[in-house]
Amino acid sequence: MLKTRKQTTSSLDTQLTLRKKKHKTKMAQNGSNSSVKLLGTWSSPFALRGRVALHLKSVEYEYIEEADVLNSKSDLLLKSNPIHKKVPVLIHGDVSICESLNIVQYVDESWPSKPSILPSDPKDRAAARFWAHFVDGKCFESIDAAAGAKDQAGRMAAVGNLMECLAALEEGFQKSNKGGDFFGGQNIGYVDIACGAILGPLSVIEAFSGVKFLSPDITPGLVQWAERFRAHEAVKSYMPTVAEFVEFAKQKFNV
């Protein structure tokens, strides 16, 4: 028997309730003894970056879910990020660190034990920062344009730009993976964490537009990389499924 929409939504709500509870991630703390908190929301691809970085560094931290960050911001969020008033925010002792890529770099530098998230070689480090900013700039601009297009012509133009961005990422992956599974080699690193943020939004646009952005014919490296990224132990516990992303978008935009 097929599930009704009401049953599907109820099931999703139950799953998301579990995600939204305030909880502590139990890991062996490595580095400073100051308390660590991460403010996020389960559907945010940017908050995912902070969680992955903290997991990789085995940092014990308290994750605090901002349940309805678009409509109701907690006092803690407003206090810790008064400029942008958005998640994620990393609170380390009495210091607040905002913006997801900034958080990832801070975690890597504050807990310098292995594995290193950013490359040690200056040239590789510069390249990693370039691709991370390319994702947050060109890629997300194209994603936002495709999602917010008012007509078919605008949508197709945005889709074309997004395809060009992904082709550039494919080329970057092929040149930088050194025969390994991830950008930069065998271990998940800075560019992987940056690029992983686009997978959720891409899956939503694919579901609504019918366009397949990552395909074995055009982006074979990224297709395999995406599968490995989602399955990585530092990612899979925190990244929503495609079905959860799509159902969230339906509820958010009343589709």
Cα–Cα distance measured from residue 36 to residue 189, given in angstroms and rounded to the nearest whole number: 21
In this structure, the answer to whether residues 126 and 243 fall within a common structural domain is yes
* 240 domain residue, yes or no: yes
- Examine the domain organization and report whether 226 and 152 are in the same domain: yes
What is the span of the domain harbouring residue 43? 33-110
Angle between helices 140-148 and 152-176 (to 10 degrees): 160
pLDDT tens-digit map of 216-251: 999 999 999 999 999 999 999 999 999 999 998 888
Residues 75 and 159 in one domain: no
pLDDT averaged over the chain? 88
57 and 139 fall within a common domain: no
**Pair (82, 136) in one structural domain:** no
Decide if 226 is inside a domain. yes
Q: Residue 148 contacts by C-beta under 8 Å, 6 or more apart in sequence?
A: none
Q: Nearest-CA neighbor of 51 among 27, 79, 67?
A: 27
pTM over 0.75: yes
Tokens 């050194």 correspond to: 178
> How many residues can be counted in the chain?
255
The whole-number pLDDT of residue 255 equals: 63
Give, in degrees to the nearest 5, the angle at Cα 133 between 128 and 135: 100
pLDDT in tens, 169-196: 999 999 999 999 999 999 999 999 999 9
